[in-house]
Structure 1
Amino acid sequence: MRRRRLTPEDQDIWSRYTRTAEALDPPRQEPLDASPPVPNPDPPAPQVRPFRLGERAKMRNSSHALAPSIAEEVRAAPLRMDAKAHKRMTSGKLRPEGKLDLHGMTLEQAHPELTHFVLMSHAAGKRLVIVVTGKGKSRPAEGPIPARLGVLKHQVPQWLRMAPLAPVVLQVSEAHRRHGGSGAYYVYLRR
């Protein structure tokens, strides 16, 4: 490809431009007794350790790494029932009038069962019922996304706080050891 030559008019414009323009990178003046630069040997390549998934992850005490422990949420709920009755209930001295066992159910099966059981217990005039969810299987995390353990254990208190159960439920507490411990909930119903 042939280069195009500048016309005398273009050369005049270019020479006027270069006289008024400032250089972005002015030429460097080298010291007079400068010796030629010594070539630097290549620096050693940085050593890269092999990456192992999860090696810097911190283990949490909670059975569900994505949210606070459900037991903490249930304990932190404000007391809406008689304090003396609550103390008797949590110490296992009150006897539950009904029991629902959700072991082995999926979320889709457990939600309607829980709704039906609580509403029917309330209609029958029962005050204290127990809902057994189980503690959930403890298994090691196999990937980068934490797996929720004890799905029903986490979901049941939330369902009890939502309609249609919220108006009939007065208090939800973790059960005493003799009634299932952390794998069950006391549900105290309104009159």
Structure 2
Amino acid sequence: MTRRPQKTLSDEDRVLWGLVARSAVPLKGRAQPPPIDVAEPAAIAPPAPSPSGPISQPQAKASLPAAPRSLDRPTLDKLARGRLPIEGRVDLHGMTQDEAYSLLFSFLHRAHAGGLRYVLVITGKGSSSGGDGVLRRSVPAWLATPAFRMFVSSHEHAARHHGGSGAIYVRLRRTR
């Protein structure tokens, strides 16, 4: 039997694994393992002060992109009718919030890096006991957080044949 070569984790996978590992609870009688040193993505450094002299006002930190807004009506209609391609899909059915958040973040990060523009996030409609699903309520709120603003330009509930209120069209920001 041949042994497969071990693969090393990319920085993105290491960050994702760190998020998952922090949420894990050890079995009874087992000690908590030491935390894994996860290198977070480097932050944008503020610009250096000008050599002409001291600056009277403090430099502002690099600002985040504006919060995602709703898709405009013409774009929404084109997506619903299939005139704009949906270039990627992710299905979050049956996942816990932590699992769904990690998967959604990594999916949107990869899609943005790959230059995709429109993706479909399937959350499901929730339990049959009459209440809204947890992911159905949570995902739009997550998309408006600073962590997702770097990737998401706008989002809106999908057309009925794409999942209706149990799915979300997401327009990703253009890559620079």
Pairwise TM-score range, normalised by the shorter structure: 0.5 to 0.7
- Structure 1: which 5+ runs fail to align? 1-76, 141-147
Larger radius of gyration: 1
Partners of 2:83 and 2:160 in 1: CA distance: 11
* 2:90–2:121 Cα contact (<8 Å) kept: yes
Q: Secondary structure at the match of 1:172?
A: strand
TM-score under structure 2 normalisation?
0.55
Pairing 1:5-24 to 2, within 5 Å after superposition: none
How far off its partner does 1:91 sit?
4.5
Pairing 1:37-48 to 2, within 5 Å after superposition: none
Partners of 1:78 and 1:164 in 2: CA distance: 15
Query: Would you identify which runs of 4 or more consecutive aligned residues in structure 1 move more than 2 Å?
Result: 81-87, 89-95
Number of residue equivalences: 107
- Structure 2: which 5+ runs fail to align? 1-67
Counterparts in 2 of 1:82 and 1:139: CA distance versus 1, 3 Å: closer
Q: Secondary structure at the match of 1:165?
A: helix
How far off its partner does 1:108 sit?
1.1
Partners of 1:101 and 1:82 in 2: CA distance: 24
* 2:69–2:155 Cα contact (<8 Å) kept: no
Deviations 1:38-96 (A, max 9, x none): xxxxxxxxxxxxxxxxxxxxxxxxxxxxxxxxxxxxxxx854x6653233124454221
* 1:92–1:178 Cα contact (<8 Å) kept: no
Q: Secondary structure at the match of 2:104?
A: helix
* 1:99–1:131 Cα contact (<8 Å) kept: yes
Q: Secondary structure at the match of 2:74?
A: helix
Q: Secondary structure at the match of 1:126?
A: coil
RMSD: 2.0
TM-score under structure 1 normalisation?
0.51
Partners of 1:181 and 1:117 in 2: CA distance: 21
Are residues 1:138 and 2:121 paired?
no
Partners of 2:69 and 2:91 in 1: CA distance: 26
* 1:90–1:174 Cα contact (<8 Å) kept: no
